[in-house]
Structure 1
Amino acid sequence: MREMLNIQKQLLPDLIDTMKKRYTILHHIMVSGIVGRRTLAGSLNTTERIMRAEVDFLKAQGLLEVEASGIRISAAGRQLLESIEPLVKDLFGLTELEERIRSHFGLKQVVIVPGDSDTSPHTKKELGRAGAAVLLKHVSQDEVIAVTGGSTTAEVAYHLSSSNSLKGSWFVPARGGLGESLEFQANTIASTMAKKTGAKYRLLHVPDHLGEEAYQSLMQDSTILEIIQFIRKARIVVHGIGEAMVMARRRKVDAGTTSNLQQDGALAEAFGYYFDRGGKILHKMPTVGLRIEDIQEMDCVIGVAGGKSKGEAIASVLRFGQEDILVTDEAAAIEIVHLLTS
């Protein structure tokens, strides 16, 4: 298959370009659910005239359905996308990127989606879809699954669907998170994932970060302690990865700690821990929830993060060495590989 693809690239480059273009249109519509032609043309940086011709062609092939409310993918279109996904990864050069990152960091699996989440909302949605697919593939019944907050894990939640494999399972927040915007709080995401899949959930209503005295006080509360003990039963965690300074500002970390993090070369934040370039932990926020030793005992740690700006941060967390699966985008993956060779 790959040899034939290489021949086509040499002899029929226009055919490959057309295939990429039509795949991108179909894929964008699938992730969007339903979309207008003008919006679609704007999202893919083309003219309405060109988009109309492409949509008419794909509709004639039975791959799209055009309604008054917009364009949606047909069952045949969805099936086609699923069947050609491995081929498309080769077309975009993603298979090689996946293997380079997987082998370098010793991961079980790397999944890369085309694009850059920093500049494309569509890519971020696709990151969520890919993250949801990975989770459903690796979960089994009666699991406790911990999730962190953030916009990317919120996209994973949005793309989950009812699954027999999740019956009897529980979704829980990996840590307290009342400091985040409501839709990006770990509690909200855990409950959304449960409702989407038919699983159950438990919530942890405590602030995102605490002073030492407040932390110790909460840890004496029997109700809080019981929920924390339940959360620490989790064998799977789905988490985002943030840039250290961005997350420090968002979480209103005090000026002294922020300055120390900057001086020490903090690049990444995950689970409430800050990491330097080599994956060393520089600082732990006093948060209630999963500890690093809990992460180290997990059966499956799934990191979902993308965007060119996060390449260094993702590499930093990968060097910490506890990830099993990475779901990222093309722009972040290229940055990560560049760091490996620079």
Structure 2
Amino acid sequence: MKLENDLIKQDELQLMIKIAHLHYQEGWLQRHISNELGLSAAKVSTLLNKALEKGFVEIRIRDPFAPLSELEERIRTEYGLTFVKVVPGPFPSNIALKSKLGLHAALFLQKIVRKENIVGITGGSTINGMVTADVFNTHIPVMVVPINGGVSQSDYHYTGNTHAEKLAKQLGGSYLQVPFPTFVSSPDTKSAVMKDKSAEVLLKQAGKADIMVLGIGTVCTSLLTLPHISREIEIKKLKDKGVVAEVGGHFLDKDGEFVQTDFMERLIGIEFEKIKQAPMVMAIAGGIKKSNAIHSALLSEVINALIIDDPTANRLINS
């Protein structure tokens, strides 16, 4: 009797292995195996499950994106963020980099934005990649407003005003405009501008933003709208003060601490604390040259969500 039972078990084992071979290696469907071997579909399914349970079959999934997921989690944990998206390359050009970052930023924004939200936005070529990404497929009545001045003759397409208009049209919402540059020529000019009712109302709205969408600038990129001669002088002043990053017209040192500069007396925009108080602050930034600036901005604890490229993300973790 024992010998007979042993033979039955051996026959079932051989059948189990044969079915597993046909299904997992040859790619046969279960119904094909059932018809070919004259077994019920339930019997085939049972033997396949047994093969898995007993370890005769091992299924391994090679996830090519696993390293990126691990990288996202490391950055999220290290900097205390709620969301991180690491965008994989290749990036054949700086334009391609900003376009891909903008695409993923647009997809994230579409997930989190709600009707009647106020969306504050900055200027910058990376933000332009988001507002021109043709992926928004919903109508959301939002209000989009620049969080600082957005007038520039040389970089019109990259100003907060232009971005507010483009994003509002993509989402089907409305927008406001700040008819002044980010930095005016003197504190007296700022004082006069801030007394203007239109500027006061616009920036008050920006300060109430539910979502802030920010670029992260270096010392050099933050002053591109200034005349070349004065730009070089101002850059040196900022570097001497230890400035490495600019966020929303505000300057930060390598530790993410706010640096008081003469620009604060000339800034047409909302206060740094107002940015911090927004429920969601998402930053879009990339490029190895910006890694120190991004690190500084993240240390400031103003940012909740980050969209960044793979090489720069690795630099953040390994530096």
Please indicate, yes or no, whether the TM-score normalized by the shorter chain is above 0.5: yes
Cα gap change, 1:118/1:96 in structure 2, threshold over 3 Å: closer, same or farther? same
State the match for 2:162 in structure 1. 188
| Root-mean-square deviation over aligned CA pairs | 2.0
State the shift of 1:249 in Å.
4.8
Matching residue's letter, 1:137: K
Matching residue's letter, 2:65: K
State the shift of 1:242 in Å.
1.2
SS in structure 2 of the partner of residue 244 of structure 1: coil
State the match for 1:214 in structure 2. 189
1:295-334 CA-partner distances (Å, limit 9, x unpaired)? 1210000000111111111011000011100000011101
Distance in 2 separating the partners of 1:291 and 1:141? 25
Higher alpha-carbon Rg:
2
State the match for 2:304 in structure 1. 324
State the shift of 1:119 in Å.
3.4
* Most deviating of 200-209 and 258-267: 258-267
Task: Report sequence identity in percent.
Answer: 28
- For residues 266-305 of structure 1, the aligned pairs below 5 Å read 266-284=243-261, 285=263, 286-305=266-285
State the shift of 1:265 in Å.
2.4
Distance in 2 separating the partners of 1:260 and 1:121? 30
Instruction: Give yes or no for contact 1:268–1:316 (8 Å, CA) kept in 2.
Output: yes
1:154-207 CA-partner distances (Å, limit 9, x unpaired)? 11001252424x22x101111102135111111011100011111111111101
Instruction: Give yes or no for contact 1:107–1:325 (8 Å, CA) kept in 2.
Output: yes
State the shift of 1:118 in Å.
8.2
Distance in 2 separating the partners of 1:172 and 1:140? 15
State the aligned residue count.
Answer: 250
SS in structure 2 of the partner of residue 238 of structure 1: strand
* Most deviating of 301-310 and 119-128: 119-128
**Alignment pair present for 1:89 and 2:69:** no
**Alignment pair present for 1:234 and 2:214:** no
Distance in 2 separating the partners of 1:126 and 1:258? 29
Distance in 2 separating the partners of 1:87 and 1:199? 39
Cα gap change, 1:205/1:148 in structure 2, threshold over 3 Å: closer, same or farther? same
Instruction: Give yes or no for contact 1:112–1:333 (8 Å, CA) kept in 2.
Output: yes
Distance in 2 separating the partners of 1:293 and 1:238? 15
SS in structure 1 of the partner of residue 251 of structure 2: strand
Distance in 2 separating the partners of 1:202 and 1:246? 25
Structure 1 unaligned segments of length 5 or more: list them. Answer: 1-85
Matching residue's letter, 1:154: N
Instruction: Give yes or no for contact 2:107–2:136 (8 Å, CA) kept in 1.
Output: no
State the shift of 1:256 in Å.
5.0
- For residues 250-269 of structure 1, the aligned pairs below 5 Å read 250-252=225-227, 257-269=234-246
Instruction: Give yes or no for contact 2:147–2:203 (8 Å, CA) kept in 1.
Output: no
Structure 2 unaligned segments of length 5 or more: list them. Answer: 1-61
Matching residue's letter, 2:117: E
1:174 corresponds to which of 147, 150, 154: 147
Matching residue's letter, 2:288: K
